[in-house]
Amino acid sequence: MASQHRKPRSAGTRVTGIRTPGLATAALTSVALLSQTANAAPSDDGKPSLEEVEKKVDDLYRQAESATEKYNAAQEKTTKQRKLVDGLLDNVAQGAQKLNEAREKLGSYAAAQYRTGASAPDTAAFLLADTPQDYFDQNQLMSRLTERQKGAVDDYVTERSATVKQRQEATESLATLTDSQNDLRTAKATVQKKLGAARELLSQLTAQEKARLAAIEKQRQEEAADRAAELARRQAAEQAAARQESGGTSSGTVSSSTAPSGSTSTSTSTSQDSSYATKAEKALAFARAQIGKPYVWGATGPDSYDCSGLTQATWKAAGVTLPRTTYDQVNAGTTVSLADARPGDLVFFYDDLSHVGVYIGNGMMIHAPKPGAYVREESVFYDGESGIHSVVRPA
């Protein structure tokens, strides 16, 4: 799946941002702290180094997020299966009622015939038997039934067959529901286990180690911001070139005054672009309003979100329905290259598609990052370029 969605990435030339003296001092401090960390030898007491702790915590968060998407999928499946089972059980109850009514009608016919002597006792046995179809082919009995009575027998046989089928479907669906509930419990336990292990590792850090870890994170964010700015410059240059090539129109497409006759495809493309931009504007307005809300695994709002819960709610605000999980959201649109990403596009991460954010332009996105963090704007390169799996345009 990863090979199908991963797009070739432009190498580009790294462009470093200009720092003020104050920022330069902060950067030097960060570098000094990072140098201490990088040169730190393993402790004599066998404790893992800070680098090992950082990598382990990041891995645990990644695994927890992957398990969260499995939990979301299992929860969605369980909800759908429960609705199906409820509907089937209702059908079984209605079928049983109809079956009882048909049985009562047959019983009244048999009792009436028996009282009047119109039929032999074996006719009553036929009418009240559990499998009346076994007697259906006996011409001597069928000849004694009126058309109305034959219709009652037909109704009984039909209802009995339908009820048996419905009960079988309900039984099978209940078994599937049980499997889905087991998957849900397993995924939930996995998430809690990974998060618990990460919290345990972090709780063992000293204040100095936590400060050094924060410096590492800050340095990583600055590098990611530089990469985002580089992407923004490339995109701006490509858009300017496209405008120049198309005759200087601001939208990057051929204007109506310069377009050759019969350029229906160009007009259609322009209309589609405008429609997408309008929807994306609504989606991004919603996403920005969620900034600062906590990441909670399995959450879909309005007070907290996980990553796919946020993207689903974001596009729902623009009238577009997305599936619940990253595994399904990645197939809910058109895959484009990172260089062609537009505000509103979904950016997916890692080969297991365990994370997603919504692109806002200039190499930045809004996402629900991880447990313990809050919805925020961040560079799409927050975990390096290799972490980016694909970009999808959902509408």
CB atoms within 10 A of CB 61: 20
CA-to-CA dists, residue 341 to 26, 239, 252, 269, angstroms: 32, 12, 15, 16
The phi and psi torsions of 250 (rounded to 5 degrees) equal -70, -25
Catalytic residue among 212, 355, 389, 393: 355
The amino acid occupying position 240 is A
DSSP letter, residue 301: S
Catalytic residue among 367, 370, 389, 393: 367
Catalytic residue among 307, 338, 365, 392: 307
Residue of 115, 142, 147 lying closest to 127 (CA atoms) = 142
Gap between the Cα atoms of 113 and 65, Å rounded: 72
Q: Which are the contacts of 234, defined by CB distance < 8 A and separation ≥ 6?
A: 10, 12, 339
Q: Does the active-site annotation cover 5? A: no
Residue-wise burial string across 176-200, b where 16 or more C-beta atoms lie within 10 A, e elsewhere: ebeebbebbeebbebbeebbebbee
Please answer whether residues 307 and 368 qualify as being in contact, where contact means their C-beta atoms are separated by less than 8 angstroms.
yes
Q: Does the active-site annotation cover 307? A: yes
The phi and psi torsions of 70 (rounded to 5 degrees) equal -65, -40
Q: Which are the contacts of 329, defined by CB distance < 8 A and separation ≥ 6?
A: 308, 311, 312, 322, 323, 346, 348, 356, 392, 394
* 3-class SS of residue 143: coil
- Could you tell me the end-to-end alpha-carbon distance of the chain, in angstroms, rounded to an integer? 21
Max CA distance (Å), the chain:
113
Gap between the Cα atoms of 167 and 160, Å rounded: 11
Residues known to be catalytic: 307, 355, 367
